[in-house]
């Protein structure tokens, strides 16, 4: 493996495709990504800013999380996940090809669009999805450039693509018409989630997400990152998440808890958590319902008592409960500060 050096990922792709090589072109930077080649043709691509085949299929409910996980477990080691899903009849050939093709071009945009980024070529590396489709590298490069131009025609500010999304408090329009995806984005943005977070959360294509965000920016419905950075870019003051941002958490319906609602020992919150959940693994572990400032504290539920009766002994002994809210605020502040530095 060569040491990574800044280069044009697109040009590097043309080069390795011209040499008909097999392996993975790993592009660093932000968001970065990886393009997989087989004998000079592109077989798959992935990027953190673009949901992969698994996220697309499970977030839409097309495949159950466990079906996907089972295919991963069985097919990852021999790079046959895609063919395995076909063999087992979970997907049709057409579905799989369209899904992989969409994910490929989507991720390729994020990996290849930077003019310069640290890039490596790992010889011989393959992707676990296996042989599904092959795309000409020149076509991928051409499409990446075309997509970049399309975005700039909508709203020529690339910072919209990476900055955390913040809705404006008052729209500069009297009547707002949204597409379905724009609505999803506005409902789920909270001043913390970046476009990549939103795409992964909603299982929507990364490019479609930033395209709609550029449209929203052009309409003046989301705050422009530049304005926000200038006003709050002070070293000792970090903007906290907006309290008006009432972003909805995407959650799959939780399983009913059949354990006791009254904690039996020590008021431990863990005792009330469902032991098994069918959620896919990418669900973020943020069960804390406290608000942005971490001020609300939900005390453990108590059983009904007679008027004047004392609190149960174990609940009294457990006071005061650890206030985890402060840590969370601190972590959020650090995260916001780190984002501002980038």
Partner 1 sequence: MAIPGAFGAGIVDYTTGFPIASAGSAPNADHDAAAAGTADVVQAANSRSLFVSGVPHDLLEDLIITTAGGYHLLRLVPTDFDSRLVLWVWLDRIHGNLAVARRRMQTLADQLVAR
Single residue of 31, 52, 203, 267 touching partner 1 by CB under 8 A: 203
Nearest approach, Cβ of residue 341 and partner 1 (Å): 32
User: Which helix (H) or strand (E) element contains residue 222?
Assistant: none
What's the CA gap between 59 and 258, in Å, rounded?
A: 27
Within the chain, how many helices (H) and strands (E) appear?
A: 12, 6
Q: How many CA atoms lie within 13 A of 267 on its CB side?
A: 18
Q: For partner 1, which residue of 116, 179, 243, 291 counts as binding (CB under 8 A)? A: 179
Contacts of 7 (CB under 8 A, 6+ apart): 116, 117, 118, 119
Question: Residue 208 Cβ, how far from partner 1 at the closest point, in Å?
Answer: 5
Q: Which lies closer to partner 1 via its Cβ, residue 98 or residue 264?
A: 98
| Contact characters 70-89, partner 1, x per CB under 8 A | -------------------x
Nearer to partner 1, 143 or 279 (CB): 143
Smallest gap, in angstroms, from Cβ of residue 244 to partner 1? 28
Residue 92 contacts partner 1 per CB under 8 A: yes
Minimum CB–partner distance for residue 174 and partner 1 (Å): 15
Written as six digits, the tokens of 64 are 């159950």
- Does residue number 18 form part of the binding site for partner 1 (CB under 8 A)? no
- Residue 143 contacts partner 1 per CB under 8 A: yes
328 binds partner 1 (CB under 8 A): no
204 binds partner 1 (CB under 8 A): yes
Q: Report the residue number, 89 or 320, with the smaller CB distance to partner 1.
A: 89
Q: Is 311 a residue that touches partner 1 (CB under 8 A)?
A: no
- Which residues are registered as beta bridge partners of 67? none
Closest CB to partner 1 among residues 150, 317:
150
Q: How far is the CB of 105 from partner 1 (least distance, A)?
A: 7
Quote the least distance from Cβ 63 to partner 1, whole Å. 9
Q: Which helix (H) or strand (E) holds 190?
A: none
CA 200, CA 195: separation in Å to the nearest integer?
Answer: 9
Q: Which stretch binds partner 1 (CB under 8 A): 163-171, 207-215, 252-260, 305-313?
A: 207-215
Q: How many positions of this chain bind partner 1 (CB under 8 A)?
A: 28
**Token pair listed for 73:** 């477990």
93 to 112: interface string for partner 1, x by CB under 8 A: -xx--xx-xx--x-------
Assess 65 for contact with partner 1 (CB under 8 A): no
The answer to the question of residue 113 lying near partner 1 (CB under 8 A) is: no
CA distances from 128 to 24, 70, 220 (A): 12, 13, 42
Report the C-alpha gap between 59 and 52 in whole angstroms: 11
* Mutual angle of helices 137-154 and 9-18, in 10-degree steps: 160
Give the residue with the Cβ less far from partner 1, 94 or 172: 94
By CB atoms closer than 10 A (0-12, 13-18, 19+), residue 317 is: exposed
* Least distance between partner 1 and beta carbon 29 (Å): 23
> ∠ CA 194-148-177 to the nearest 5 degrees?
60
Residues sharing a CB contact under 8 Å with residue 292, sequence separation 6 or more, in sequence order: 240, 241, 242, 243, 329, 332
Tokens of 169: 């408090």
When asked if residue 150 is in the footprint of partner 1 (CB under 8 A), the reply is yes
207 near partner 1, rule: CB under 8 A: yes
DSSP secondary structure letters along 252-275:
PPPPPP-S-SS-SSTT-GGGGS-S
Q: In the complex, which residues of this chain contact partner 1 (CB under 8 A)? A: 51, 56-57, 59-62, 89, 92, 94-95, 98-99, 101-102, 105, 143, 146-147, 150, 177, 179, 203-205, 207-208, 211
């Amino acid at each position: 493996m060569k040491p990574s050096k800044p280069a044009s990922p697109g040009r590097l792709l043309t080069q390795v495709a011209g040499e008909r090589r097999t392996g993975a072109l790993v592009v660093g930077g932000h968001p970065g990504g990886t393009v997989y080649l087989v004998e000079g043709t592109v077989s798959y691509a992935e990027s953190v800013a673009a949901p992969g085949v698994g996220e697309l299929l499970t977030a839409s409910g097309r495949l159950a999380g466990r079906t996907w996980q089972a295919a991963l477990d069985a097919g990852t080691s021999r790079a046959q996940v895609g063919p395995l899903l076909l063999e087992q009849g979970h997907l049709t050939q057409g579905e799989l090809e369209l899904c992989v093709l969409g994910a490929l071009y989507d991720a390729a945009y994020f990996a290849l669009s930077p003019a310069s980024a640290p890039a490596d070529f790992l010889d011989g590396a393959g992707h676990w999805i296996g042989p599904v489709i092959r795309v000409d590298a020149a076509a991928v490069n051409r499409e990446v450039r075309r997509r970049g131009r399309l975005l700039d025609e909508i709203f020529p500010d690339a910072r919209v693509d990476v900055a955390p999304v913040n809705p404006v408090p008052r729209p500069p329009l009297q009547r707002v018409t949204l597409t379905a995806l724009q609505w999803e984005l506005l409902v789920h943005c909270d001043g913390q989630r970046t476009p990549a977070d939103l795409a992964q959360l909603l299982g929507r294509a990364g490019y479609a997400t930033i395209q709609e965000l550029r449209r929203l920016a052009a309409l003046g419905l989301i705050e422009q990152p530049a304005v926000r950075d200038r006003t709050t870019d002070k070293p000792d003051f970090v903007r906290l998440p907006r309290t008006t941002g009432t972003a909805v958490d995407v959650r799959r319906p939780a399983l009913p808890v059949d354990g006791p609602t009254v904690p039996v020992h020590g008021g431990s919150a863990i005792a009330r958590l469902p032991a098994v959940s069918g959620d896919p693994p990418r669900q973020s572990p943020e069960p804390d319902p406290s608000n942005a400032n971490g001020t609300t504290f939900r005390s453990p539920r108590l059983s009904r008592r007679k008027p004047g009766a004392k609190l149960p002994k174990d609940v009294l002994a457990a006071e005061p409960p650890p206030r985890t809210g402060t840590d969370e605020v601190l972590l959020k502040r650090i995260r916001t500060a780190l984002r501002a530095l980038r």
